[in-house]
Structure 1
Amino acid sequence: MSIIQTATNNFSPSNKLGNGGFGTVYKGKLPDGKEIAAKRLSSSSTLGKEEFMNEILLISKLQHRNLVRILGCCIEGEERVLVYEFMVNKSLDTFLFDSTTKHKIDWAKRFDIIQGIARGLLYLHRDSRHKVIHRDLKVSNILLDEKMNPKISDFGLARMFEGTQYQDNTRRVVGTLGYMSPEYAWTGIFSEKSDIYAFGVLLLEIISGEKISRFSYAKEGKDLLEYVWESWCENGGISLLDQDVDDSCHTLEVGRCVQIGLLCVQHQPVDRPNTLELLSMLTTTSDLPSPEQPTFVVHTRDFESLSNNLITVNEMTQSVIIAR
């Protein structure tokens, strides 16, 4: 523990990188000069201790170029710390939703990032020894290395499946506003298709440069999915690319990705592609099926009071979605 304290200047506020689902992340430097990211569990979070152990058990079994790599952990007294490789470019949202930096990731780079995330997801769902459902895939959980390669992070809410198991359910629905699939938000059932739904939202955010939780268009206050659907119906979605990186040379590629995003956020899980099909869609020019109109969502505090018997609120990432 003393090594981590020294590396982070005793968890100095000046070393703080951000807040995770159950604690705070600090930048540090080991005696050999290697930079690290140390995630320190909040002492007031009982839920976080479960997530902490879950993350250790899961990520220690996973190795892929598009997953963040764990270097070690510390359990000493009440202290719980996870040590990760340091990602010099932080998380994708620091670029994507900042008007001063979003131009640094042009469409070609965004498309590379989209494919990298899909490859990491394919590994979790199909290629690792244990099938893993992430359950909190979102822009802030995509970290970028020095070459802007994406790495999926934060496995505190992830679940591991054994054998032929393909879905599970929980009475404690946890996730992030806008990324939760309808079946998970309503019934607690989650599967590979829940992550696919979240990927679809993430994909549409990367294309548009808009954050789903704060997007509101025109007087009607259309949410992002409604706006994307109408754009796709009108012009194939080619006008959706973030204007700060607009590139007319890639209109067909952009339109194809919009269609893939809409296929991922279809209401019925069976209508969404699986992860293998998703990667094939992104890396080939094969014909795509036409998506069904997605479930448009509204966010309301009133609904939360009606759903307490289903939902336990996570202080960082809980959310509710309701169909219109």
Structure 2
Amino acid sequence: MADTMIGVIGGSGLYDLDGLKDARWQAVETPWGTPSDEILTGTLDGVAMAFLPRHGRGHVLSPSDVPYRANIDALKRLGVTDVISVSACGSFREAMAPGDFVIVDQYIDRTFAREKSFFGPGCVAHVSVAHPTCPRLGAACAEAARDAGVTVHEGGTYLAMEGPQFSTLAESKLYREAWGCDVIGMTGMPEAKLAREAELCYASIAMITDYDSWHPDHGEVDVTQIIETLMGNAGNARSTIAALPTLLGKDRAPCPHGCDRALEYAIITAPEARDPAILARLDAVAGRVLTRS
């Protein structure tokens, strides 16, 4: 049985974590480049924690510029077992109001300017993302958020857009009415796909800041409105995260949904045809399966 290590990727408004014992920021080198920032490590209630600000401290990276592969590799390299993604989002549902949290369980990926896989020529793999988040981890996030006094919606489809601009009215109506999406954001993909390739359990806490541009009574999105709601959401996110070590526990059993075994049959390239240079870059992400081939 392995030890739990919770990795938190903080989105807009969440750039650090309070209360960590033996906290320190440390640089992590990866074969995929430099992560968004140094990673804050420590323990909380006896459970190892790692925190990475997705946009960097001071919010210096746009959604398209976030080094998603380096971020996931760095967390895996540190020993993270469970990744909690915290991000701001817009809502397509009246009942999902600004200030509420949504535990995302599905995505529609409309991003186009990002590297979306660790694998490629020299080592090809196909993982399943039919269910891209971990139900066990998502349930723990929902319980923690409720305990923090937050209105939580369990389950929702997240439209991942490229950004950095917000949606047009026509796009907002399309995603809401024709595609049945619940929330919209700019950072959920390819992060969730990469976490699955790295055999990490992944859950997404989407913090609603606005109604995008579809709502006739709320007008178009503006950054002033978002920032105001972000401040309240960030405090609730910290309270939610603080409850997770107790809920998840220090001892971690194998994931009942198989997230930690996602590569078991995913690598297609024959062992003798694999490119050693690519394999070297995959040491943290796929070392479990590559070392036995």
Provide the TM-score with structure 1 as the length reference. 0.26
Provide the TM-score with structure 2 as the length reference. 0.28
**Larger of the two Rg values belongs to structure:** 1
Q: Which has the higher contact order (CA 8 A, sep 6+)?
A: 2
Higher strand proportion (structure 1 or 2): 2
